[in-house]
């Protein structure tokens, strides 16, 4: 199940990146110290379409501020992690 989520996140990031050879990507790595979690924002510089990978609820205001500053439009938000309560079930 976990690998399926990761594969989906990679496919979404690739879909944002595909296109002309001159297409540029924006990439931001954001850190949340309490949970030691990284959130990634990947966007197409031309279309401003973005994917947010592994967002953290507590840092949503900060992340939204960045998205507004960069004038990005969130098309997808992906959380590839399995919640702890789900890890007890067979895959």
For the stretch 54-64, pLDDT in tens is: 998 889 999 99
What pTM value is reported for the model?
0.67
Average pLDDT score over residue span 24-30: 92
Domain limits for position 35: 2-83
Whether residue 91 is contained in a domain is answered as no
| Structure-token pair, residue 22 | 């001159």
63 vs 19: CA distance, rounded Å: 26
Per the structure, how many domains does the chain have?
1
Q: First and final CA of the chain: distance in angstroms?
A: 6
How far is residue 1 from each of residues 35, 38, 40, 86, measured CA to CA in Å? Answer: 22, 21, 21, 10
Whether residue 88 is contained in a domain is answered as no
Whether residue 64 is contained in a domain is answered as yes
């Amino acid at each position: 199940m976990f690998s399926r989520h990761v594969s989906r996140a990679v496919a979404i990031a690739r879909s944002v990146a595909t296109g002309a050879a001159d297409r540029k990507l924006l990439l931001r790595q954001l850190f949340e110290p309490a949970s030691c979690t990284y959130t990634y924002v990947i966007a197409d510089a031309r279309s401003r379409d973005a994917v947010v990978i592994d967002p953290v609820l507590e840092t949503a205001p900060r992340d939204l501020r960045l998205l507004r500053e960069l004038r990005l439009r969130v098309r997808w938000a992906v959380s590839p992690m399995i919640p702890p309560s789900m890890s007890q079930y067979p895959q």
